[in-house]
Structure 1
Amino acid sequence: MASSFPYLLMVTAHKALSLYKITTEIRSSANPKSTRKAQLLASLKADSILAPMSLSLRVTAAEIISSIVYSFSHIGCGWSLGIQELHFNKDGEQVSSRLATTVDSQYGITSPRPFATSRGTFGLSLEAEYGGALDAPSILHQKPPTSVSYSHPYLLTSHADNTLTVYLVVSSTTSLYVKGGRRLWGHTSSVGTVQVSDRGKAISVSSHGDEIRIWELEALISTFGAPRVLKEESIQVSPEDQKSATNEGLGILSVVPRCEIRGSPSTATSIPQHIPDIRDCIGFDDERVLLLRESRLGTQSIELYDFT
C-alpha cells in the first residue's frame, strides 16, 4: 500500500492495482458524527506481479501520480528495476502512463532517452542505439533484490550481498528517467529490508534483524559520478540484547505472536532463540522502527524498536 491523503493505492495478490479516495460523510445535522469511506476511483489488472516491489503515490494540483517499481532480469546487467508511472486526474481517469528502468544508470549512461514500450524490443534497442556492444555495467546484480523502496525521488534496493543501491528518479512533465546509481556498503550480513522517505532518510535492516543502519541519502546524491570515498556512510543502531532489554525496558518493546492477538491481552514476550527473518519494514521515524518478522512456518510478529 501507499497513501497520500485522501488517496490510497493498493496492490493485491490477485494482480489488481486499485486507487481509492477516502471521503468523509456527515450523517445528519441531528447526528453530526462523521464516517469515512473508501471510494474506488480506478482499478487496473497486471499480467504478472513479482516480489519484491514498491508502490508510491503523490498528488499535485491537477493529477494523482502513482508509481509501481518492480524487478526484472536483464541479459546485460543482471537484475534491474522498472518503474511504471500512472497519471490520473482527480476523478480517477487515467491520463497517461510512462516507463523507465535503471539499465542506463547501471551502465553509467546519464542522458535521458525515450523508453521502448515494446517488451520484446527493449533488449535489442540498447545495443542498437549505442552502436554495438556496451561496456560492462558498473552496477551488476546477479540475484534479485531482497527489498525495494521508492519515495520520490529516492529509489533504494537491498541485496543479499550485504549492500544497498540508491538511485535518483527524475520525473518531469515531459520525461521519466533514472539518474545515477551508487552501491552502499556498511552491513556485515545480508540486508533483508529497506525503506526510504522523500526527505532522503533511509533505514536498512539485516535479514535477522540484528543490525539496523540509518542512512542520509541527500548528501550521497550529490556525489553521483564521482569516485567513491571510503568512509562510513551510515550510522549503525544496535538493539539491546534480550537481557538488557528486559532489565532496562529498551530495545524491543513487544513481540506478540499473531495467534495471541485475538485472545486475551498478553505481556511482552522475549525473542525466541532462532529468530525468524525480517519480512518488511512497516515504518520508521526519527525515534522508532516498526518491523514485521515471519518464520518459516508462517507465524508472524511485529516488533517496535525505540531508540530514544
Structure 2
Amino acid sequence: MGKRSREEEDEAAAKERPTKCTRSSTDDLLSKLSDELILRVLAFLPVSQLAVCQRLSSKYHTLAGDSQIWKSHYYNRFVRPRASRLPGLKELDDSSHSLHFASKASRWLDDEHLVERGRKTNWKRQYKLRHNWTKGTCAVNEIPVAEEAAVPPLLVQMHDGIIYMADQTDGLRAWTAQGERKLIAQRAFEKDHGPPTALAIDTQQHPEPTSTLLVGFQDGAFAMYALQVDEEKFVPRYGHEASSNGVVSAVAVAYPYAVTMTATHLMSLYRFSRQADKAETEMLDPPRLLYSLKSHNVWPPLSTSLRKSERNITISIAYALPTYLSGWTVGIQEVKLDLTGKLLDSRLASAIDQHYRPLAFSLPPMMQHLPLPVSGSLATATMMEMRHIHSKPTSLSYTHPYLLVSHPDNTLTLYLVTSNTESLCISAGSRLWGHTSSVSGAHVAARGKAVSVSRRGDELRVWELEGGFASTAARKRLASGELSVQIRAEKRVMHEAAQAGLDLTSVGSAAPDKADDGTEDGAAELTLTRGWIGFDDEQVVVLKERSGGRQALVVYDFT
C-alpha cells in the first residue's frame, strides 16, 4: 500500500480524537457589578457559600472576606441568641440587621472588647474561633516541662496567653501559649521556704506589659513577683518571712491587695502601699495587715477570689463542706471590707438544702464501703444516689456567679451564687452528665463557659452553662445532653518535644502500657491529670503526667 500523505494522516488523527465539549458562553453578570453591589449580594449568602466564593478568584477572596459581612454572621449566630435572654432587652429588628448593642448589654455578653474604639477586629477569624469551640475542633501541641513529677505537684496558672508554673526545682517559669510556644522567663526562688504550695495571678488590666504574681510556700511565707514581658524576666517585689500559721494553701491578688489562706483556715488580707516613685524593679515596703479571719468549716478543695471596687473589697472563699449524715456539699463565705480594712459584712451560705436527707433515707459516709443490699428499705437506685451525694468533690471552681464542682462518679454539679445587699445564697445544684470516667478537674469562666477533663486525661468536654437552668429551654438542653461537646483534636508534635525525646501519644487514642505499677487491672496509665485545667478565648491548657512521672502541658488550640 502506498504511503499516505501528511494531509491524510492529520484527517485520520482528527477523526480518532474525541470531540471536545463546548462550554456554554453565558455572561458573568455578577462580576460586571460594582464592588459595593457585589458586597450587598454576598451579604445574603450563608457562611458555607461565602467560603466557596473566597476560592473563586483573588477579587472574590477579598470581597467575600469583608469584615462587616462576617461581623453580621458572628452577631447573628453567637450574640443575638444570648442577647435575647437579657431582661429588658427588646428583640432587635432582623430586617435592619442592626448590630448596635447598649454598653450594659455588651458588658453582660462579655463581647465589648471586640467593638472597642481604635480596635480592628478580624471578624472572620473570630467567627472561625467560636465555631471551632462549638464543634470541639482544635489542634494539639505538647510542651515538656519536667522529666519527673514534682512533690508537691507543679503549680500552674494561665492568663493573657501566658502559662505560669512554679515548683521547688525549677522555680518560676513562664511560657507563651500562643504562636511559637517557648520559655520566656525563669527564676529560682530567693530563699529556701520549702516547695511552693499556692500560685495566683493578678488579672486586672494594666497599661504596662507587666504581670503580678503571688506565690505561697510550705513554711507559711509568701512572695510577690512581677513578670516584665518585654524584657522576658521575673523581678522580685516582696518576700514575707515564714509564719507559724502553717502551710499557705491558697492565695489571691488584686494589687495593691493580697489574700492568703493557710491550711489551718486562717485568712489574711494585706495591702501594699502604692509607691509611684519606685520603679517596677525595686522591692516594695512590707504590706499592712488589714484583716484576718479564722474559719472552722472550710475543707479542700477550695477556691479563693479577691474583687475590689472603688468603695470596697470582696473576698470570696468557696469550699467543700462535710455534713452530718448527708456526705459532702459546698459552701461559700463572703467577706466585705472597706478600703481601710474595716469589716462591713461577713456572710455564709451553703447548698445543704439540696443534699440533706432525713435519717431514715440517708446512708452514713462511714458505710460507703459496704456492698449494696439485695433487699431492704433502700432501693438500689436510691443507694447509688446516696453514694454519689456522699462522695467528696474532686475539684471546685468558682467564678461569680458560677460554682462548678466535679465528682468521682463521672459527673459535675453546677450551682448559681446570688449575692446582693440583702442576702447570699446558693441555688440547688444541677447535675451534669457527659463524661465516661472520673472527672479530675474543671474550670468555669464568668460567662458560663467551662472545660472539664477526666482523670486519665483522654476526655475533655466544653460546657455552655450561661444563665443556669432556670428557664424551660435550659432544662430541655440539660435533659437532652446538649450542654457540652467533646474536644476532638489532631496532634501536632512540637519540635521541642521531639528534641526532648518524649514518647508522645495521640490524645484520645492512647492505650495503656502493660506494666505493674499498682494501678487498676495491673495496667499503667499513659496519662494522668492532677486536676489543673485553664483556658482563655483561644486555647485550653491541661497539665498531664506520664506513667513514668514525666510531665507536659498539653495545649488545645482552637484558632
Compute the TM-score of the two structures, normalised by the length of structure 2.
Answer: 0.41
Aligned equivalent of 1:11, options 261, 265, 274: 261
Q: Is the 8 A contact 1:98 1:176 kept in 2?
A: yes
Distance 1:214 1:63 in 2: 34
Question: Distance in 1 between the 2:414 and 2:538 partners?
Answer: 23
Report the equivalent of 1:222: 470
Is it true that 1:159 corresponds to 2:407 in the alignment?
Answer: yes
The TM-score normalised by the length of structure 1 is 0.70
Instruction: After superposing the two structures, state which structure 1 stretch, 35-44 or 285-294, moved more.
Output: 35-44
- Give 3-state SS (helix, strand or coil) of 1:52's partner: strand
Classify the secondary structure of the residue corresponding to 1:180. coil
Conserved in 1, the CA contact under 8 Å of 2:526 and 2:547? no
**Counterpart in the other structure of 2:436:** 188
CA distance in 1, matches of 2:500, 2:391: 40
Q: 1:154, 1:169 within 8 Å by CA — same for their partners in 2?
A: yes
Report the alpha carbon displacement of residue 200 of structure 1 after superposing the two structures with TM.
Answer: 1.2
The structure richer in strand per residue is: 1
Q: Which has the higher helix share?
A: 2
Q: Which amino acid aligns with 1:209?
A: G
Distance 2:411 2:447 in 1: 21
Answer whether contact 1:78 1:142 (CA < 8 A) is retained.
yes
Q: What's 1:198 paired with?
A: 446
The one of 275, 279, 287 equivalent to 1:25 is: 275
Aligned position for 1:111 = none
1:26–1:33 CA contact under 8 A, matched in 2: no
Partner of 1:99: 348
Secondary structure at the counterpart of residue 218 of structure 1: coil
How do residues 283-294 of structure 1 correspond to structure 2 at under 5 angstroms?
283-293=534-544
Residues 23 and 36, structure 1, Cα contact 8 Å, conserved in 2: no
CA distance in 2, matches of 1:236, 1:268: 29
Residue-by-residue CA offset, 1:148-207 (whole Å, 9 max, x unaligned): 111111111001111110011111112111123210111111100011111111111111
Query: In structure 2, what is the equivalent of residue 41 of structure 1?
Result: 290
2:454·2:460 contact (CA, 8 Å) conserved in 1?
Answer: yes
Q: Which has the bigger relative contact order, CA under 8 A and spacing at least 6? A: 2
Aligned length: 260
Pair 1:72 & 2:324 matched: no
Gaps of 5+ in 2: 1-250, 358-381, 506-512, 514-524
Aligned pair partner of 2:416 in 161, 164, 168: 168
CA distance in structure 1 between the aligned counterparts of 2:438 and 2:535, rounded to whole angstroms: 20
Aligned with residue 51 of structure 1, among 300, 315, 322? 300
| Distance verdict in 2 for CA 1:184–1:52, change over 3 Å | same
Task: Please report the RMSD computed on the Cα atoms of aligned residues, expressed in angstroms.
Answer: 3.5
CA contact (8 A) 1:254 1:303 kept: no
Residue identity opposite 1:101 in structure 2: S
- Please tell me whether the aligned partners of residues 441 and 533 of structure 2 are also in contact (alpha carbons under 8 angstroms): no
Change (3 A) 1:287 1:33: closer
Whole-Å separation in 2 of the counterparts to 1:4 and 1:27: 20
- CA distance in 2 between counterparts of 1:58 and 1:268 reads 44
CA distance in 1, matches of 2:329, 2:304: 17
The 1:280–1:9 alpha-carbon spacing in structure 2 relative to 1, beyond 3 Å, is: farther
Matched residue SS, 1:141? helix
Q: Which of the residues 327, 332, 335 maps onto 1:86?
A: 335
Kindly name which structure, 1 or 2, has the bigger radius of gyration based on alpha carbons: 2
Question: Is contact 1:162–1:190 with CA below 8 Å preserved after alignment?
Answer: yes
- Percent identity reads 41
Conserved? CA contact 1:148–1:194, under 8 Å: yes
